[in-house]
Amino acid sequence: MTRDAWGRARSYLVPSAALRYTLRPMTTRWTIGVASGSSGDGVDAALAEIDGVGLDVRARVVHATHQGYPRDVRNLIQQCTSAAPADMKQVCLLHRLLGEVFAAGIRLLADESRFNLHDVQCIGCPGHAIWHEPEGRFPGTLTVGMAAVVAERTGITTVSDFRARDIAAGGQGVPLTALADYLAFRHPTEDRLLLHLGGIARLVHLPAGGRLNEVTGFEAGPCNLLLDSLMRHLTGGREAYDPGGKNAVQGRCIEVLLERWLSHPYWRRRPPKSLPRNGWVETFVKQAVEQTRQMNWPLHDLLCTAAHLVATGAAQAIQQFLPSRRSNLRVLLSGGGTRNGLLWHLLEQQLSQAKLERIDCLGVSADQRKSLAFGVLAALTMDGVPANVPSATGASSARLLGNLTPGSPTNWARCLSWMASLTQLPAAA
């Protein structure tokens, strides 16, 4: 979308000066963002104080929590995201259970922060993707985590399924956090690259002083989804992940295997692009483990090589697909992968000309960035502002995102009142 187009969209989606003046004393509100990482380890929730309206919003984390999934829920996620055909009864069960887990995480957040849920305007709950196929004749995506359960248990209007609208508009459905990242982290003179090391390594590039239509982003390749799956296979399910990379650091990189992995067409494809969620990583891991056993390679070497793949894939993506202006690039890391010492070290080697820091230095925890972003996106939906960024996702144009599930009658009435106050109805003919 061009700058002029964004300006026109903003002119009718953001209140007029007179209307905003009357609303200004009451524009502070609270939202909750919920994020279920693609690695399936648990749910993050963040309570955010939101000031302003539309593209002028400013968000601050009041409190955040992480709640690990019970083992049976983790196992169910793995079953429903594997390459094998899914049992629809299991998918339906997971849909309901995740709704309950999300709601429990929100109530834990409220209890820990001693914050009354009646004061929260809305919840941003994107759900957990169990199928994502952005290519082909009929691209599609499927997330689970029943929003009706979240709204029922909390009494708060819930905005869910953000990704589907971008997919319908021809986009990849990721990175959906690009607009929230732009509002929170852009800088007038500093090139910033946000690298999320979650289940998937995801990039959002914020050019120095750049406009919204200059923001780019894509998925560079698997990250913890690959590393954790390897640990489960190699330990027979006894260990779910490699804490801090302590097992991988004991091995050596198998160069011939790394080169073979990097020759996969995905790493060479130009963005916008995103990884499929239809057992692609699981198939990749099974082939790697089988080959390792045939070649009698040490298992620690396989883990080490996988860490090199994550770091090298991300570094090559930055070098190949980002604009050439990278002399003052600052790389800000978020996600669980920031705790993997080997992965951090490899990224420092690969990106030696850039400055690597945890995103915490900007006032948002590396574990909170994603949940905060969905709280902001929910607020933007309430404000009637398109929240996908076509230059990042590849969509034909910007769209309002998400499905709304009303909360309690009182909460829903407040939401309707808020949305009505921001709507400029056309003059009668």
pLDDT digits (tens, 9 = 90+) for 409-419: 999 999 999 99
Q: Which residue(s) pair with 124 in the sheet?
A: 33, 159
Phi-psi region of 52 (alpha: psi -120 to 50; beta: other; left: phi over 0): left
Residue 7 pLDDT grade (very low, low, confident, very high; cuts 50, 70, 90): very low
| Least confidently predicted of 15-19, 61-65, 152-156, 316-320 | 15-19
Lowest mean pLDDT among 9-13, 167-171, 193-197, 224-228: 9-13
The residue among 60, 27, 56, 26 whose CA lies nearest residue 46 is 60
Identify the pLDDT of residue 8.
Answer: 41
Question: Which tokens in the block code for residue 41?
Answer: 């380890």
Whether pLDDT at 203 is above 60: yes
Tell me the C-alpha distance between 291 and 261, whole Å.
Answer: 12
Alpha-carbon distance of 207 to 182, in angstroms, equals 10
Model confidence over 305-316: pLDDT tens digits?
999 999 999 999
Q: Distance of alpha carbon 297 from its chain centroid, rounded?
A: 35
DSSP codes of every residue in 142-186: EEES-HHHHHHHH-SEEEE--HHHHHHTT-----TTHHHHHHHH-
On whether the CB atoms of residues 102 and 153 are closer than 8 A, the answer is no
Token pair 């420092």 is found at: 348
> Residue 210 and residue 362: Cα distance in Å, rounded?
18
Distance CA 34, CA 31 (A): 10
pLDDT band at 11 (very low <50, low <70, confident <90, very high): very low
DSSP 371-425: HHHHHHHHHHHHTT-----HHHH--SS-----EEE--SHHHHHHHHHHHHHT--P
Residue 326 clears pLDDT 70, i.e. is over it: no
Over residues 82-101, the mean pLDDT reads 92
Residue 387's identity, in one-letter code, is: A
Residue range 272-301, pLDDT digits in tens: 999 988 778 888 888 888 888 899 999 999
pLDDT for residue 329 is more than 60? yes
Rg (CA), the chain: 21
pLDDT surpasses 80 at 22: no
Percent of the chain with pLDDT over 70: 92
pLDDT reading at 19 higher than 50: no
pLDDT value at 4 more than 60: no
Mean pLDDT to the nearest integer, 112-123: 97
Percentage above 90 pLDDT, the chain:
77
Q: What is the rounded distance in angstroms from the CA atom of residue 41 to the CA atom of residue 340?
A: 15
- Distance between CA 151 and CA 146 in Å, rounded? 9
Under the banding of pLDDT at 50, 70 and 90, the label for residue 84 is: confident
Least confidently predicted of 34-38, 209-213, 407-411 = 34-38
Domains of the chain: 12-183+367-421 (3.30.420.40), 192-362 (3.30.420.40)
pLDDT for the residue numbered 424: 62
pLDDT grade, residue 359 (50/70/90)? Answer: very high
User: Would you place residue 18 in the very low, low, confident or very high pLDDT band (cuts 50, 70, 90)?
Assistant: very low
The predicted-structure confidence for 44-67, as pLDDT tens digits, reads as follows: 999 999 999 999 999 999 999 999
Mean pLDDT, the chain, rounded, equals 90
Give dist(CA 149, CA 23) in Å, integer. Answer: 32
